[in-house]
């Protein structure tokens, strides 16, 4: 059956590494629960229809401002276009819906205020998702993993100042495998991605030598080594 018209929506896959202070950090995605048909009760990515008077970046920023404090989004980039004619079954008024997706990153330990129908969900334990949003999240996670290898985009997930153990946990949660803090330090310092602050963290209850604190050299996205790749333990260089 031909579609009477075509509409365009923008959707954001927003990631944050959460529970850093619990010893069980998790890469989580921001989702909201649909209150209307089709697929009422399923969880979906934040976003909505592109207005006639705005470009896609303006639209996604506007719509994220309705779900997350806009100032908490440290990195935002366009990902992919999803244009399967049947991706939104029974679309309103019979229109075909094309979606442009974006990757958004929120640093830890930011705590954006969320409406009651919106929550963070661990990427490795997502609830049933609407339409093709699972594929969109998988696509965004793959992009994030790749960019952690050859750019400084980790600044958009990490605290402003951090011990190497914290950075290890951020990278490990985002990459999906354990990361060695010493190796991570060596790679990122060599590329000029992180630098010591000259200060140390407060001593914990157990005492011991305070950990040195680092920061990202820049809080603006840049490519650091276009041919680099971070690999899980046991995988050849």
> How is residue 193 written in tokens?
């991605």
| Interval 96-154: pLDDT, tens | 899 999 999 999 989 998 999 999 999 999 999 999 999 999 999 999 999 999 999 99
Low-confidence ranges of the chain (pLDDT < 50): 237
Q: Strands of the chain (E only): list them.
A: 6-18, 26-33, 43-44, 47-49, 75-82, 96-105, 118-122, 162-163, 194-200, 212-216
The domain limits of the chain are: 6-150, 153-216
**CA distances, 182 to each of 17, 162, 187 (Å):** 20, 14, 9
- Mean pLDDT score of the chain: 90
In total, the chain counts a number of residues equal to: 237
Mutual orientation of helices 181-190 and 164-175 as an angle, nearest 10°? 90
Q: Report whether CATH 3.40.1440.10 matches the domain 6-150.
A: no
pLDDT of residue 237: 44
Residues 6+ apart with CB under 8 A from 125: none
Residues near 16 by beta carbon (within 8 Å), at least 6 away in sequence? 27, 28, 30, 105, 106, 107, 108, 110, 120, 157
DSSP-derived 3-state class of residue 80: strand
Q: Could you give the residue ranges of the DSSP H alpha helices within the chain?
A: 56-65, 133-150, 164-175, 181-190
The backbone torsions φ and ψ at residue 18, rounded to the nearest 5 degrees and listed phi first, read -110, 165
Q: How far is CA 179 from CA 22, 31, 55, 127, 131, in A?
A: 17, 27, 39, 27, 34
Q: Is 67 helix (H, G, I), strand (E, B) or coil?
A: coil
Q: Are 171 and 148 in contact (CB under 8 A)?
A: yes
Residues 6+ apart with CB under 8 A from 177: 232, 233
- Residues 213, 218, 224, 229, CA torsion sign: positive
Percent of the chain surpassing pLDDT 90: 74
Q: What angle in degrees, to the nearest 10, is found between the helix axes of 133-150 and 164-175? A: 140
Strands 6-18 and 96-105: parallel
Overall fold of domain 153-216: Arc Repressor Mutant, subunit A (1.10.10)
């Amino acid at each position: 059956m031909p579609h009477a018209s075509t509409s365009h929506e923008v959707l954001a896959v927003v990631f944050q590494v959460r529970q850093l202070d619990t010893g069980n950090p998790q890469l989580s995605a921001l989702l909201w629960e649909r209150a209307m048909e089709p697929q009422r009760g399923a969880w979906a990515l934040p976003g909505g229809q592109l207005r006639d008077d705005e470009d896609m970046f303006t639209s996604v920023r506007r719509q994220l401002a309705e779900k997350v404090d806009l100032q908490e989004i440290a990195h935002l980039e366009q990902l992919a276009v999803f244009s399967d004619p049947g991706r939104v079954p029974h679309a309103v008024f019979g229109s075909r819906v094309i979606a442009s997706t974006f990757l958004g990153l929120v640093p830890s330990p930011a705590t954006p205020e969320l409406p009651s129908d919106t929550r963070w969900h661990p990427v490795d334990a997502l609830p049933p998702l609407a339409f093709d949003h699972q594929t969109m999240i998988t696509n965004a996670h793959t992009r994030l993993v790749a960019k952690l290898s050859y750019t400084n985009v980790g600044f958009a997930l990490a605290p402003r100042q951090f011990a190497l153990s914290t950075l290890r946990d951020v990278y490990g949660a985002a990459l999906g495998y354990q990361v060695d803090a010493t190796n991570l330090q060596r790679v990122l310092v060599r590329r000029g991605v992180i630098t010591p602050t000259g200060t140390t963290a407060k001593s914990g209850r157990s005492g011991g030598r305070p950990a040195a604190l680092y920061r990202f050299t820049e809080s603006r996205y840049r490519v650091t080594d276009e041919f680099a790749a971070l690999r899980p333990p046991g995988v050849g260089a």
